Chains A and B, each alone.
Chain A
Amino acid sequence: MPDNYVGQRVKRTEDPRLIRGLAHYVDDIALPGTLHVAFVRSIYAHAKISNIDTSAAQTVPGVVAIYTGKDIAEKIGPVPCASALPELKVPDHRVLATNKVYFVGHPIAAVVATDRYAARDAVDLVMVDYEDLPVVTDVEEAAAGGPVIHENFSDNIAYKLTAGEGDIDAAFSAAERTVKQRILHRRLAPIAMEPRGVLARYFPGEEELTLWSSTQIPHLMRTQVALMIGIPENKLRVITPEVGGGFGSKLNVYAEEALLGWISMQLGKPVKWIETRRENIQATIHGRGQVGDIEVAFKNDGTITGLRYNVFADLGAYHQLLTPAIPTLTGLMLSGAYKIPAIQINITGCFTNKMATDAYRGAGRPEATYVVERALDLVAAELGVDPIEVRRKNFPKPEEFPFHTATGLDYDSGDYEAALDKAQQIAGYAQLREEQKKARAEGRLIGIGVSTYVEICALGPSQAMPAGGWESATVRIEPTGKVTILTGTSPHGQGQETSFAQIAADQLGVNLNDVTVIHGDTGVVQYGIGTFGSRATAVGGTAVYVAIQKLKEKANKIACHMLKTDASKVSFEGGKYSVQKAAAAAAGTSDPVVPVGEAPAGALPEPQTEGRSSLTIQEIALAAHIAKELPPDTEPGLSATYFFEPKNFTFPFGTHIAVVEVDRETGDIKFLRYVAVDDCGKVINPMLVDGQVHGGIVQSIGQALFEEVVYDEQGQLITGTLMDYALPRAAHIPEFELDRTETPSPVNPLGVKGVGEAGTIGATPAIVNAVVDALSPFGVRHLDMPIKPENVWRIINNDSRTV
């Protein structure tokens, strides 16, 4: 098929509703008689609840009901954890706290009232008596012993896991050189601009419950919530209206989602809860949260022979959906873009009195890329060579793909040198190093940081996933010729309403505006998995593509019948099935232009086939629905469904180069350049790919320089609002210089790999490497994130006081 749309910078079809303020997020849906829910949440990190007095709160005008954990928690199943690791300890995670609270923000009671102000008033009047318990916040202390958080377990270690291939001990005992570095990955708050929110409506007569939720996984949520609250799955409909960002934080099933459904069933009325930003930072999952030691064994010529990462993962008090699995993804990606014969990860996952960590954009892989890319710079510093030299030395060559890593993966395709060459060329790397030398001589602190990353995308084969890694699509052509796509993915800003329509318009030879992509409604769309892990296009887009091929097989059969010829004489091009010229001439048929999709209202006219040598696929769709002229044994209608199971992950890669200058007076860090060359395989819409990369890099800037969820020793969250949790703003960013190389993936027929997380994976180490490079004249070899001006200033001024 010719690509009229694929590969083009097609403007998004989503945008007209969004830029005019006419889209509907959960809180924009108003149902008559809706009651509002607000939560009483723990103000302590670890305490026994000795009493809850709701009597004053009950008297607030408008209050309808107050539910506490003791009353109801046992009536609703536990909040699910889908990770199945050997000997994993799974605490009993109820939707409301019962006897104890385990983190600040732990929900204790739900207040239901006629409006949101009344509900909040009543929350303030619920009196909870707490008895303090010892608090565990430090992950290494949690592992070492001390107070045990969950009394039914013997310690705070949720699991230990060792993984990797190759003889790691031999690699280190035979090593010519080694480096070792302790590295912190602070907790981060995903901060989707739209906080979470749920609207639940139960119809007692029909016994049907509808949940509108701001989620990335409507179908998985339907299954889990149905099990939790005991409603048949086919009586529960989950709708994701417009979703204002997720970044992994909405790849989950939360207590509030099940509880709202249950409350609506109790009261027989619609109930709504919209998370406040304070609640969002307290009680929506955090990302990262690792402390580890990276060790590298290498030869004097820079060849890496072994890599070991001993890591403590701060899991928080409870497991959310994927909490324990995230550090295992770190283990999978420890080979980075390099040939490393022996790799080992030792994970100790620990409970702490904090909110759970879980998937945040990158989900375990940014941690791996960060430690590997930092380690390579340490190797380069140790050998006194340019960081790029060490990277080139250890790249696998393009002909070595599929490339097997000592972490057990098979990288699909790659040309790491090509991306590095291009980035070096755009940045003018050699020139930059010269300028840096000159600047240093003048006393200016300029740093250049490089990261040559690989990421694992298109999650993923079902064998490697907790609950299915395939994705589904239905494609149908309606009687009027309009194309409807139902996708099991659940886009929330990525733009698949446009990019999937681009694929379909090209494959069917129709106008882009004739295609509508429907997603995020379990009452309409066949079962799907959802949007996360940079999977939507590579897995879900492939499902769309293959479903279209199935649909065309049927259309082809109908076309042959209608054109009274056989398949060998018909071809499909430009949206038309045509009898080949010679055959048409012999039959005396012609190819008149017939307008499509403009049939008059009323009875649908049957396509006129007499004397025709071609038919559009849209005319065939009409014929398939009228069903008077179909080949024998052909089902009426024109639609196809396909569930695509990928055989492997995909492995995008790229090179990021950051150039920064550090202000000697203030310690401030300013970007001078930022070059990113990413390879995400074939590109459907370059504009959307650029947008994904920009957004990811800026989240990396946040992680590297600003962001940190801070709990004090008492487990109090002291970055509880956006006043304290610093996010990057427009003035913080450099003008990005983006480019691409294109190495198609052999894993799917579209050749696409995925790009949603590339920025957060590739950029963080490039930025930190640049700042470390800038400060290397002071003997700096490593700095932990976020690198704040204060820390930098202390280094420059030789001030040893810690912050």
Chain B
Amino acid sequence: MKKAINLSVNGVSHSDEVEPRMLLVHYLRDVLGLTGTHVGCETSLCGACTVMVDGQAVKSCTLFAVQADGAAITTIEGFAQNGQLHPVQEGFWEKHGLQCGYCTPGMIVTAAQLLDRNANPSREEICHGLDGNLCRCTGYQHIIEAVEYAAKKAAG
């Protein structure tokens, strides 16, 4: 029995009928074709699937699409505006905050929320804020530096 959902993704409205068990991440990837959001585990531990749901960083493998009915979602594809990278995206590029890139969209979304909540975080606060996101390539140091870069950039 499919359910109708209406939601906005990266500023675009979508109306679809989905199976109640369809995960939000599969809706974003398979129905909308927004494949920047990745799946890295099925136990909500890796954070590769993190997206913004009504301004909160949420692991989209832990939410059903029907639970996002009425929500405003931002995925990694919605972070750059008018060809301008988001400061966190810029930080990841400048500081070599990514290698294989698979965890990167989730990391960027989480880092953006971290900076929304705390514009000038300490290294410890950054590490704590990124604790729900796994990276196997970078060893995190360049990711932490990327977040520091973005914080500085946003502070002007």
A contacts, CB < 8 Å to B: 11-12, 14-16, 18-25, 27-28, 30, 116-117, 191-195, 242-245, 247, 274, 276-278, 492-495, 687-688, 690-691, 693-699, 721-723, 727-731, 733, 735-736, 759
Contacts and interface: CB of A to CB of B under 8 A. Distances in A.
27 contacts: A11-B93, A18-B98, A19-B85, A19-B104, A20-B76, A20-B80, A22-B77, A25-B35, A25-B38, A25-B102, A27-B29, A30-B33, A193-B46, A193-B48, A242-B101, A245-B99, A245-B136, A277-B41, A277-B42, A694-B141, A695-B137, A697-B139, A698-B139, A722-B45, A729-B134, A731-B127, A731-B130
A147 to B, nearest CB: 34
Nearest to B124: A731
Contacts of A277: 40-43, 46
A19 B77 CA distance: 9
B27 interface: no
A492 B35 CA distance: 18
A687 B102 CA distance: 19
B36 A699 contact: no
A1 B138 CA distance: 32
Contact of A244 (B33, B79, B100): B100
B35 A694 contact: no
B140 interface: yes
A24 B29 CA distance: 12
A653 to B, nearest CB: 20
B98 A193 contact: no
B79 A730 contact: no
B139 A695 contact: yes
Contacts of B116: none
Contacts of B36: 20-23
A493 B98 CA distance: 8
A730 B143 contact: yes
A194 B100 contact: yes
B39 interface: yes
Given A19-B85, A495-B99, A193 B40 contact: yes
Given A245-B136, A277-B42, A722-B46, A21 B76 contact: yes
A493 B19 contact: no
A723 B42 CA distance: 10
Given A21-B35, A699-B139, 13 more contacts: A16-B93, A25-B102, A116-B26, A193-B40, A193-B46, A243-B100, A687-B96, A688-B96, A721-B45, A729-B134, A730-B126, A730-B128, A733-B141
Interface in B58-109: 75-77, 79-80, 85, 89, 92-94, 96, 98-105, 108
B38 A19 contact: no
B96 A691 contact: yes
A31 B37 CA distance: 19
B16 to A, nearest CB: 15
Taking residues whose C-beta sits less than 8 angstroms from the other chain, chain B's interface range is 35 or more
A697 B138 CA distance: 10
B43 A691 contact: no
Contact of A27 (B35, B94, B134): B35
B7 interface: no
Contacts of A699: 136, 139
| Residue from B35, B101, B108, B138 having most chain A Cβ neighbours under 10 A | B101
B34 interface: yes
A764 to B, nearest CB: 14
Contacts of A19: 76, 85, 89, 92-93, 98, 101, 104, 108
Nearest to A17: B101
A676 to B, nearest CB: 11
B89 A20 contact: yes
Which 4 residue pairs across A and B have the least CB separation, nearest first?
A21-B36, A244-B102, A493-B100, A694-B139
B40 to A, nearest CB: 5
A193 B136 contact: yes
Contact of B134 (A193, A276, A688, A721): A193
B40 A736 contact: no
B77 A723 contact: no
A274 B136 CA distance: 19
B136 A192 contact: yes
Given A20-B89, A694-B140, A721-B41, A28 B35 contact: yes
